[in-house]
Homo-oligomer: A and B are copies of this chain.
Amino acid sequence: MINVGLIGYGYWGPNLARNFSEIEGFCMMMVSDLQLGRLKLAQTRYPMVSTTTDFDELIDNPKIDMVAIATPVSTHYQLALKALKAGKHVLVEKPMCANSEQAKHLIDEAASRNLVLMVDHTFVYSGAVRKLKILVESGELGDLYYYDSVRVNLGLFQHDVNVIWDLAVHDIAIMDYLFEQKPKAIQATGTKNLGNHFENISYITMFFDNRFISHIHVNWLSPVKIRRTLVGASQKMVVYDDLDYSEPLKIYDRGIEIGQTTPAIYKMLYSYRWGDMCAPRVDPTETLRVELLDLKDCIEHGTTPSADGQMGLRVVSILEAASASLTDKFKLVELSLSC
């Protein structure tokens, strides 16, 4: 039995609590939050769980094996570090922390103590993304052309990060999971429509080898919610719509081929392939459950989760570079990520 302490019972914490309490092998033992109202809520739903406003009390509790951290980004590093130093396995909300230095520190701390350090990049465990990875790895898509994602909605504004750190983080993690190769350079534009605080719109382009390109559009001020990714490639192309519950993944047997290209401008010949579309069945298990089963497995067997600290570090490094581009006249920023 893995005894779980949960820090943060705001927007996401209750989902973690529900899944921990439903998976055999985990025992929700303690919840910590600064707001008493939230603790009362937790206790109504899980009367056996003890609560506290003092996270140190939770971290220091010797019965607790694993600490889940679902607090604002700016607090991740400090809390995760304390928990690791107290000998606990750690699941930390995405993004892993506020900069790559912190991320490296946490990785080292976990490694030196043989503790599992997992980042809650939930999408990496979704049925659609896992199916997509199988497709990419099978070579069925052919050469990759682009990955284009739109992730927009109205709110929820974050208080300590801009929209890149809040929304683009998902696509950056998904891409890290899907593709072997990592971006070589990044560029971001955006604007702050509501005062001087944080960008609420951003457009990020990432450049890879072999002309593969990716683009992420994130926006907190869209009248409609859109979660749609296009994956272009030479053999097949994919539309992944996370809001389409029945058919999130559509694979199109469509493409274009260039034939003879002669000097004469009008003689370039394109032929279009316009075949069937197939929407494969996707595992409907709740994504967070799949993720926590991986976490359990890693804690029990000392293995490394799909969403490990290294993934968390690469994601934070890309977020850092995107922010750097945004604040330095949208310039191109080179990246050197280790895989």
Binding site for B on A (CB under 8 A): 21-22, 44-45, 47-48, 72, 74, 145-146, 148, 150, 152, 154-155, 157, 159-160, 187, 189-195, 197, 201, 203, 205, 207, 211-213, 215, 217, 219-225, 230, 232, 237-239, 246-247, 250, 252-256, 258, 261, 265-266, 268, 270, 272, 274-281, 329-332
Contacts and interface: CB of A to CB of B under 8 A. Distances in A.
Given A47-B48, A225-B246, A191 B203 contact: no
Given A145-B191, A191-B207, 15 more contacts: A146-B193, A148-B217, A154-B254, A160-B265, A191-B212, A193-B232, A203-B205, A221-B255, A222-B237, A223-B232, A224-B239, A225-B246, A247-B277, A277-B278, A330-B332
A213 B192 CA distance: 9
Contacts of A212: 191
Contacts of A224: 230, 239, 246, 252
B272 A281 contact: no
Contacts of A255: 154, 221
Contacts of A194: 256, 258
A146 B332 contact: no
A241 to B, nearest CB: 10
- Name the 4 nearest CB pairs between A and B, nearest first: A223-B237, A223-B252, A189-B205, A191-B213
B222 A155 contact: no
A268 to B, nearest CB: 6
17 contacts: A21-B44, A21-B45, A146-B201, A146-B219, A150-B150, A154-B255, A154-B256, A157-B270, A189-B213, A191-B213, A195-B258, A219-B232, A223-B232, A223-B252, A223-B254, A224-B230, A330-B332
Contacts of A45: 21
B223 A230 contact: yes
A281 B274 contact: yes
A337 to B, nearest CB: 19
Contacts of A219: 146, 148, 230, 232
Contacts of A277: 223, 247, 278-279
Contact of A215 (B159, B217, B256, B280): B217
B256 A157 contact: yes
Nearest to A215: B203
A276 B276 CA distance: 13
A283 B268 CA distance: 26
B281 A275 contact: yes
Contacts of A275: 281
B215 A238 contact: no
Contact of A332 (B21, B157, B329): B329
A211 B47 CA distance: 50
B274 A154 contact: yes
Given A224-B239, A281-B274, A205 B330 contact: yes
B195 A261 contact: yes
B280 A279 contact: no
A215 B48 CA distance: 51
B274 A221 contact: no
Contacts of A276: 278-281
Nearest to A45: B21
